[in-house]
Amino acid sequence: MAEIRAEMVANVWKVVAAEGDHVDDGDTLVILESMKMEIPVLAESAGTVTLHVAEGDVVQEGDLIADVG
Amino acid sequence: MLNSVLVANRGEIARRVIRTARRMGIRAVAVYSDADADLPYVREADQAVRIGPAPPASSYLDAAAIIEAAGQTGAAAVHPGYGFLAENADFARQVMAAGLTWIGPDPAAIEQMGDKIRARNLMERAGVPVSPGSREPVTDVAAALAEADRIGYPVMVKAAAGGGGIGMGVAAGPADLQAAFETARSRAERFFGSPEILLERYVQRARHVEVQILGLADGRVLALGERDCSVQRRHQKVAEETPSPGVSAALREQMLAAAVQAGEAVGYRGAGTVECLVDTDAGSFVFLEMNTRLQVEHPVTELVTGIDLVEQQFLIAAGQPPSFDPATVTSVGHALELRIYAEDPVRFLPGPGTITQWDEPEGDGIRVDAGYQAGNTVTPFYDPLLAKLCLYGADRDQALERARKAVAAFAIAGPKTNLAFHAELLTSPEFVSGDYDTSLISRLRPS
């Protein structure tokens, strides 16, 4: 199980992957927005997605965004 | 003269406008969102009004809330700063309909220049050089492919209503064009509320050089020199300087004359900026766009001319002559601006946070326009600009030397900052030589 965490304080702009989706390494899971910049958050391995955020949420640095496993 | 002004902005630019207003004896009213209540500009204003929660759509973009704040505080005028509502013609009209003075050009000029396609067509008719590009909006991928064939690759794809480098992309050939077009269109809709896209021939080795213009109350348009803004990441400026090391005296004369023509073509009043691309190989330039407001990097022009541009904006809006004699404007020395962003210095990704230390450099030729101080929190809601570190020198070498020392002396802890990047830029042989172009950062940071 790989944990995907936020690298910075940001708003969750778009959730791209759906709960339970199978993703590959490099697929976009969610798109964060911080300081007028869009920051795609990518899967770092293949697996099934468990999401921990919803669109409109604010995440702090280090918060869990998703598990892929 | 105006006796009061509401500054419809935040951070460093609100603070900078408030400073000149107060020096001129104009009562300054600030507006703020919940995220900004503790920032220096809120305290330095004569009065401050909360206009809403942190997201820009509920605060700094809420025209009704801002006009209501002006009504509550009896402000006589509205200064929009840059960004947010500064280039929104409807907002300018609402301000005027409320009986307030708009510190900016006529809304018709904002509209003509705000649509990049219309602006290009207008400039072409006025005799200002433009690059090969779209004369009408490109509506789908098939039309984009046909248009790119006509213009010639590589092409730049951008939002007609856009700005700030957002959604811009380069396509080297037909294979890249579909993705560039779709990205530009989705961002254009999201950020600018209009899906209209234009294509322009992309110049490989180009400098981004702009001319400061000032449309006086009597109708004359002046050009107050150029600024070189070629140090960019993600098509956004990171450092600027004047004079441009890449513009000859003859080219400068042509560019300044073209900028005056551009301003005259729209009956421009107040401070504006005509942005151009200079082809470094050909030694020629084309019109890019006009920004119908005060520019972020206006301080470098102020440092070499001794003119306070915000003061001129107030005077012009009040129908008065400028504070200087247009016949005797001279530019002396060299000035740099380094944008201190809350972002990491390697990948340039945002790094908001609470500021635990903020020590500004001081000394000869140093000007700091800062939006924050120790104890403030930099939030993810707004752009990453923390401060503008500006340096003046008798020549470029002295300005660069002062810049190196000032960057080393600027101590910020808490959020990430790009100070380390500036230290690197100021010693990079390409930047120091003056012979650089808009790809400088991509060479310093090959991905």
Instruction: Decide if A9 and B379 are in contact by the 8 Å CB cutoff.
Output: yes
| Angle formed at CA B70 by CA B69 and CA B76, multiple of 5 degrees | 170
Q: Provide the CATH topology of domain B132-201.
A: Dna Ligase; domain 1 (3.30.1490)
Q: How far apart are the first and last CA of chain B?
A: 54
The alpha-carbon gap from B397 to the nearest alpha carbon of chain A, in Å, equals 34
Structural contact between residues B87 and B291, judged by C-beta atoms closer than 8 angstroms: yes
Instruction: Decide if A35 and B164 are in contact by the 8 Å CB cutoff.
Output: no
Q: Phi and psi of B193, rounded to 5°?
A: 70, 15
Which residues of B have a catalytic role annotated?
293
Local confidence band at B130 (pLDDT 50, 70, 90 cut-offs): very high
pLDDT digits (tens, 9 = 90+) for B349-391: 999 999 999 999 999 999 999 999 999 999 999 999 999 999 9
Question: Least CB-CB distance to B349: which of A11, A36, A39?
Answer: A39
CATH number of B206-444: 3.30.470.20
A–B CB contacts, 8 A cutoff, strictly below: 40
Task: Share the mean pLDDT of chain B.
Answer: 96
With beta carbons under 8 A apart, name residues in chain A contacting B349: 7-8, 37, 39
Local confidence band at B186 (pLDDT 50, 70, 90 cut-offs): confident
The alpha-carbon gap from B267 to the nearest alpha carbon of chain A, in Å, equals 33
Element (H, E) at B352: none
pLDDT digits (tens, 9 = 90+) for A51-69: 999 999 999 999 999 999 9
Instruction: Decide if A35 and B380 are in contact by the 8 Å CB cutoff.
Output: yes
Instruction: Decide if A35 and B353 are in contact by the 8 Å CB cutoff.
Output: no
Closest CA to B136 of B127, B126, B128, B146: B146
As a whole number, mean pLDDT of residues B165-181 equals: 91
Instruction: Decide if B384 and A35 are in contact by the 8 Å CB cutoff.
Output: yes
Question: Least CB-CB distance to A11: which of B342, B380, B384?
Answer: B380
Architecture of domain B4-103: 3-Layer(aba) Sandwich (3.40)
pLDDT digits (tens, 9 = 90+) for A16-55: 999 999 999 999 999 999 998 889 999 999 999 999 999 9
Architecture of domain A2-68: Beta Barrel (2.40)
CATH 3.40.50.20, chain B: domain bounds: 4-103
The alpha-carbon gap from B372 to the nearest alpha carbon of chain A, in Å, equals 15
Burial A17-27 (b: 16+ CB within 10 A, else e): beeebebeeeb
* Greatest extent of chain A over all pairs of C-alpha atoms, in Å: 31
Closest CA to B316 of B246, B251, B263: B263
Instruction: Pick the residue of A28, A37, A41, A57 with the most B CBs within 10 A to test the interface with B by mutation.
Output: A37
pLDDT digits (tens, 9 = 90+) for B268-308: 999 999 999 999 888 899 999 999 999 999 999 999 999 99
pLDDT, residue B204, reads: 82
CATH 3.30.1490.20, chain B: domain bounds: 132-201
The alpha-carbon gap from A53 to the nearest alpha carbon of chain B, in Å, equals 17
**pLDDT at B164 > cutoff 80:** no
pLDDT digits (tens, 9 = 90+) for B297-339: 999 999 999 999 999 999 999 999 999 999 999 999 999 999 9
Chain B positions with Cβ closer than 8 Å to A: 164, 166, 234, 342-343, 349-353, 379-384
**pTM reported for the whole predicted model:** 0.94
Q: Does A36 lie at the interface with B, CB-CB under 8 angstroms?
A: yes
Instruction: Decide if A36 and B382 are in contact by the 8 Å CB cutoff.
Output: yes
- In order of A25, A42, A46, B270, the CA distances from A2 in angstroms are 11, 12, 9, 56
As a whole number, mean pLDDT of residues B93-120 equals: 96
Instruction: Decide if B383 and A35 are in contact by the 8 Å CB cutoff.
Output: yes
Please state the domain extents for chain A. Answer: 2-68
As a whole number, mean pLDDT of residues B35-54 equals: 98
Local confidence band at B1 (pLDDT 50, 70, 90 cut-offs): confident
Closest CA to B410 of B345, B340, B347: B340
CATH 3.30.470.20, chain B: domain bounds: 206-444
